[in-house]
């Protein structure tokens, strides 16, 4: 069975608008939650009710040991990828820093052979040009 890592923007659209239910609830894949995505979801959960929703959504991943935490090697490779993005893709330093989370998500998924599912076409395709990983873009 294939492994997937769902990006933050998919979860946000699902929580706020009910979009992408077919991605969130698909049964033909083993879903992993990136620790980076978890952090980003909590960052945007400013109300107590929002934090409770994030907690209910993320708890099963923790209980099943399906939280994908970047390893030291992933962080090291992320530094190289970010440097390459600055040079080859002409991302300025502030933009490259905003890519840190996306690079960590992509490289963590790559390390375990998982597919990243996202709406963020531009950044993830740029990352993929530097380090190949499985990617699925949804609208």
pLDDT per residue as tens digits for the range 43-97:
999 999 999 999 999 999 999 999 999 999 999 999 999 988 888 766 665 666 6
Domains of the chain, each with CATH number or no CATH: 2-137 (3.40.50.1010)
Scanning the structure block, which residue is given the tokens 């990006």?
Answer: 7
Question: Are 67 and 6 in contact, with CB atoms under 8 Å apart?
Answer: no
Q: What is the pTM of this model?
A: 0.93
Question: Are 61 and 67 in contact, with CB atoms under 8 Å apart?
Answer: yes
| Average pLDDT rounded to a whole number, residues 20-33 | 95
Q: What are the distances in angstroms from CA 110 to CA 33, 48, 113, 127?
A: 14, 34, 5, 12
């Amino acid at each position: 069975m294939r492994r997937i890592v769902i990006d933050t923007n998919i979860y946000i659209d699902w929580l706020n608008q009910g979009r992408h239910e077919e991605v969130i609830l698909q049964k033909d894949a083993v879903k992993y939650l990136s620790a980076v995505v978890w952090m980003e979801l909590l960052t945007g959960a400013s109300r107590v009710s929002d934090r409770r929703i994030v907690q209910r959504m993320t708890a099963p991943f923790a209980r099943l040991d399906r939280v994908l935490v970047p390893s030291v090697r992933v962080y090291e490779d992320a530094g190289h990828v970010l440097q390459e993005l600055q040079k080859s893709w002409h991302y300025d330093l502030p933009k490259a820093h905003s890519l840190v989370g996306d690079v960590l998500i992509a490289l963590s998924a790559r390390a375990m052979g998982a597919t990243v599912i996202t709406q963020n076409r531009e950044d993830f395709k740029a990352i993929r040009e530097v380090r190949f990983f499985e990617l699925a873009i949804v609208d």
